[in-house]
Structure 1
């Protein structure tokens, strides 16, 4: 309990916030000396009223400068020490809402800084005066009080310690209140928070898309490589082994190209040629790889060159690639029948292959199938997979108009 109460005494943030609070008092003090000034005989209430009015008008006018919000945000981040820096914005004012919040912040900051600054000056000056009395024996009036001479000077040191501790705790409380005001008034507006949330969602979607790209490309390459290497080990025909090694080399090269393209995307490269991904025009090479792996492929691609929008062409290639990879993985050697065609404003993709010959089984769901469904949904379509008799069938529908 005591540790929690006295922790602010040793926290650097307490003293940084103290400085931030005193700055508001300094501004108000300078205004006081300029106008209305300290004149003898002027009622205190009248003096304070004039002073408060002038300070308020000046702060509102200052808040109308867009860059002030940025300067206040930077200063608040440095001195108020928020737990997360993004809680306090550092952007200039972008509209009347920001200008109003900036004016409220300046007024609140000054209104809190004046009493804290006054109490700080009064407390520190009184503590110094008392210590001076203990050391020199001179008889001052610290804290506005006349110290009785009958009390030994050393007896006042505990009083000074208590006053300073209370002062620091008061400042720590005021600093937390100042930080709460900064988060409320200098933090991002609801519109900015919504925009930030949308950007974060877009980044997450992009990361998921890149993860699917790597899964589809590298997964296909590894499946073909494993099948080719296994077949080459079992078959003693040198010609077959040479062909298998050629397929492994070509598949590995394509996987490296896909990996490089994905890494370029991760690095936010502006080189458009480097980030191009394969489309339906490259399906022939994919089919040849599957045939070389020992699975006959009968494919009908009833899509004219350039007929599909770019995004639909690229996503269709990945869907077919995943379908071929699954067929090679779960039913190696079985024929694969594929068909791509446009029907009634949709692109239809259908893949079918038989059961595995030696104890293989089809899993009802996995990352590959989930990836296909996610791609279809993002494009406004749908995907379904399951057994139809003795064949495992994947059916995908992608609307052409939603992908343009």
Structure 2
């Protein structure tokens, strides 16, 4: 009984009735043209004409279901009333012809079965009621209802069981039709290979955007925290002996944190935006390099060769972040030892070179002892922490190269970023 009259069965019955209702406009259109070919009157006066109109309505419904929006509308009904797992259905409009044809087949199946169930639901209960009440005493049933010809004579005893059987058959037919729609929905309304590919590409773009924003946060906040920690520690050690140095350190901490809060607001603004393009970005460029070096927390010997120009914004932003991460590494592993930064402007590329000492050996002291040469940074496959991986990823995204490793007892970071078109 639960299969025939349970909650899911009732919802599927409603789904089928709605399918029959959706078929009615197409049936009425077909009923206008069918008499033209049959030579008769109204289709409602002839059962064969009605069957012909029903058959002609199905192709019209199939043509209408080729519209892209037919799939999401069908999915809503299949999910909410048909009891189909939402993960197996595609919510997006059908763009390819393969998806449209599959949707059209399902829609025809829906309205066709719904029309048949609707017709039976209108006709069979009345006949079943006649068969059931025929043996009821006259004082309870009123006038005697007319019986079908097959139930005259002794066969009248079979009328009530036959009526109950008709009702059960109607319920069973509706349950089978609903189960058939639910079983075919994932195959006909589910994502096509093109839909799955588009979903994978969208997911990859989203992950790329999140990874880029994560690098922005790591580079900005990580550098500031390293500089603030170093300056606060130095100020604490000489608090009583050099008040001017402490005052300068606190000023640098204030400026660095204020600048970082602005960058954090910018990055979080991107996270709140809808429809962000994967390649879009924001943040400081090489124009802000002077402020970064002035409040880096470590002495920096900065030199430039070539004729400085204006690099494209993606290259300029990447160069700023690379210098920022290089300074963070120097603060973490080189203490307050001087850092040498050299930027070489060429016609086709921008080269960044940073040299710093290794005090704690956390990122390559063992390799420095063995004289291991610098190695390329290739994103996630490179060792040495998230910072070096981020530098490698930034360079790779711009078709550049990044190398890091020991060089004569010091740590050298070299990054070469192409300048598109040779323009600066």
Check whether TM > 0.5: yes
Partner of 1:58: 60
The question of whether the paired residues in 1 share the 8 Å contact of 2:307 and 2:345 is answered with no
Deviation at 1:224, TM superposition (A): 0.9
Aligned position for 1:394:
413
Counterpart mapping for 1:323-338 below 5 A: 323-338=326-341
Contact 2:306 2:344 in 1 (8 A): yes
Q: For 1:88-167, what aligned pairs fall within 5 Å after superposition?
A: 88-89=90-91, 91=93, 104-129=105-130, 136-137=140-141, 148-150=155-157, 159=165, 162-163=168-169, 165-167=171-173
- Alpha-carbon deviations, 1:239-295, whole Å to 9, x = none? 11111111110110111111111122223399xxxx8521122222222223xx2x3
Give the conservation status (yes or no) of the 8 Å contact 2:355–2:413. yes
Structure 2 matches for 1:48-87, cutoff 5 A? 48=51, 50-51=52-53, 54-56=56-58, 58-59=60-61, 62=64, 68-70=67-69, 72-73=70-71, 75-81=73-79, 83-84=85-86, 87=89
- Alignment partners' CA distance in 2, 1:52 and 1:387: 82
| 1:153-193 Cα distance to aligned partner (Å, 9 max, x none) | 6x789757744652442232133146346515xx6x65565
What's the TM-score, normalizing by structure 2?
A: 0.74
TM-superposition CA deviations, 1:45-91 (whole Å, max 9, x none): x974x436632553466467xxx542x34542432225338934564
C-alpha distance in structure 1 between counterparts of 2:306 and 2:288, whole Å: 13
Contact 1:315–1:375 (CA under 8 A) maintained in structure 2 = yes
Matched, 1:9 2:6: yes
**What aligned pairs does 1:280-299 form with structure 2 within 5 A after superposition?**
280-290=286-296, 293=297, 295-299=298-302
8 Å contact kept, 2:355–2:410: yes
Q: Name the counterpart of 2:314.
A: 311
| C-alpha deviation, 1:122, in angstroms | 4.9
Worse-superposed segment, 233-242 or 383-392: 383-392
TM-score, with length taken from structure 1: 0.77
Give the 3 Å change call, closer, same or farther, for CA 352–10 of structure 1 in structure 2: same
CA RMSD of superposed structures (Å): 4.0
1:223 aligns with 2:231: no
**In structure 2, do the counterparts of structure 1 residues 303 and 289 end up closer, same or farther at CA, with 3 Å as the change threshold?**
farther
1:256 counterpart = 2:261: yes
How many pairs does the alignment contain?
Answer: 379
Distance in structure 2 (CA, Å) of the matches to 1:172 and 1:362: 65
**Deviation of the 1:382 alpha carbon:** 2.2
- Conserved? CA contact 1:13–1:79, under 8 Å: no
Name structure 1 gaps, 5 residues minimum.
none
Contact kept? 1:386, 1:392, Cα under 8 Å: yes
* C-alpha distance in structure 1 between counterparts of 2:389 and 2:404, whole Å: 11
Residue 31 of structure 1: how far off its partner (Å): 5.3
Structure 1's 156 and 53: CA in aligned 2 closer, same or farther, altered over 3 A?
Answer: closer
* Deviating more after overlay: 131-140 vs 253-262: 131-140
Quote the residue 1:300 is aligned against: 303
